[in-house]
Amino acid sequence: MSDKRQRARVQGSWAKQLPKHSGALHTVHTVYIHVTFWELILCVCVSCRFDLSRLRLLSGFLPPEEADWMFSKLLAELPWSQKTNYRQGEAYEEPRLTCWYGELPYTYAHSTMAANTQWHPLLLTLRLAVEQASGCSFNSLLCNLYRDGHDSIGWHSDDEASLGSKPVIASLSLGDTRVFSLRKQPPPEDNGDYTYVERIRVPLTHGTLLLMEGATQDDWQHQVAKEYHDRGPRINLTFRTIYPEPEGHRPGTKIRFTSKQP
Ligand SMILES: O=C(O)CCC(=O)C(=O)O
């Protein structure tokens, strides 16, 4: 096996911990799982200084008994539906159910979700809790329901112009565990070939909050792949801030070209 391929395999295994003594700050550029307040402050400084990608994983953000009743309530009471998207002019049904909350509609994959402006009271409570934990405010929410292991979301970045530059995305998971995968954007000379890029896999458990910050949407794509063994339902709530589409932009325009599929 060539050195390059071997390195890619090793990097593609599991999420890395923040190195204990990473002498050169500019090499700290992937994923940090925060343990202490001081690590958090260090990462904020590093991210601001070097415009880096940053993930924060808060497992147990919701205690299991609370997460249990919240999951049942949202499953039963949100207006779930299946969205039709378009790829190269062909319509396809998303392999998951969704609903969208906020003041503005949200366009991706050439179709638009109308905004539910009346937030479910539980979603308002969760938004407040997520805002307090993240220190960010959010005006919109995309809710995903994966009915079983066959539901999924393909490789994409949340980089529509309407999300602004360097968006913070706060992703709260309820229900069965699914693996959230990330892959780094290849350098331009690799012409979109992801064979050797760095990869990270994070199992998102019931009640976990994942924060994606800094340049994460510029430099990485993410997905939740199909699984072929039994998986129960899972709800994922991604809080975002949406801005009116910039002047002259078609709704759903990406800042860099990647497609949310299927
Ligand atoms: O379900 C997840 O964890 C990811 C959802 C996602 O990538 C999205 O809504 O853009």
**Is residue 205 one of the residues assigned to a domain?**
yes
**Is residue 164 one of the residues assigned to a domain?**
yes
- Calculate how far, in angstroms, residue 111's C-alpha sits from the geometric centre of ligand 1: 17
Q: What is the number of residues in the chain?
A: 262
Task: Please determine, for residue 8, whether its predicted confidence score (pLDDT) is greater than 70.
Answer: no
Encoding tokens for residue 16?
Answer: 């890395």
Q: Is the CB of 99 under 6 A from ligand 1?
A: no
**Is residue 246 one of the residues assigned to a domain?**
no
Task: Please determine, for residue 19, whether its predicted confidence score (pLDDT) is greater than 90.
Answer: no
Percent of the chain clearing pLDDT 70 (strictly above): 75
Q: Is the CB of 208 under 6 A from ligand 1?
A: no
**Is residue 148 one of the residues assigned to a domain?**
yes
Mutate to test the pocket of ligand 1, among 222, 231, 260 (most ligand atoms within 8 A of CB): 222
Query: With contact defined as beta carbons under 8 Å apart, do 76 and 48 qualify?
Result: no
The backbone region for 133, taken as left when phi is positive above 0, alpha when psi lies in -120 to 50, beta otherwise, is alpha
Task: Please determine, for residue 151, whether its predicted confidence score (pLDDT) is greater than 60.
Answer: yes
**Amino acid 246: pLDDT:** 67
Lowest mean pLDDT among 11-25, 99-113, 121-135, 169-183: 11-25
- Nearest-CA residue for atom 7 of ligand 1: 223
Q: Pick from 180, 207, 199, 166: which is nearest to 47 by CA?
A: 166
Q: In this structure, what CATH number is given to the domain that contains residue 114?
A: 2.60.120.590
Q: Is the CB of 180 under 6 A from ligand 1?
A: yes
Give the count of domains, the chain.
1
- Nearest-CA residue for atom 8 of ligand 1: 238
| Higher-pLDDT residue of 134, 24 | 134
Percent of the chain clearing pLDDT 90 (strictly above): 67
Encoding tokens for residue 21?
Answer: 């003594």
Q: Is the CB of 222 under 6 A from ligand 1?
A: yes
**Is residue 248 one of the residues assigned to a domain?**
no
Residue 193, domain extent: 55-240
**Amino acid 108: pLDDT:** 83
Give the 3-state secondary structure of 173-184: EEECCEEEEEEE
Q: Pick from 111, 98, 109: which is nearest to 142 by CA?
A: 98
d(CA 213, CA 44): 10
**Is residue 206 one of the residues assigned to a domain?**
yes
Q: Which position has the token pair 């260090």?
A: 42
Give pLDDT tens digits for 67-118. Answer: 999 999 999 999 999 999 888 889 999 999 999 999 999 988 888 999 999 9
**3-state class of 110 per DSSP?**
coil
Encoding tokens for residue 253?
Answer: 């325009």
**Is residue 16 one of the residues assigned to a domain?**
no
Q: Is the CB of 142 under 6 A from ligand 1?
A: yes
Q: Is the peptide bond before 262 cis (omega within 30 degrees of 0)?
A: yes
Residue 161 exposed, middle or buried by CB count within 10 Å (0-12, 13-18, 19+) = middle
Q: What Rg, from alpha-carbon coordinates, does the chain have?
A: 18
**Is residue 114 one of the residues assigned to a domain?**
yes
Atom of ligand 1 nearest to the CA of 260: 10
Atom of ligand 1 nearest to the CA of 204: 3
In whole numbers, what is the pLDDT of the chain averaged over residues? 83
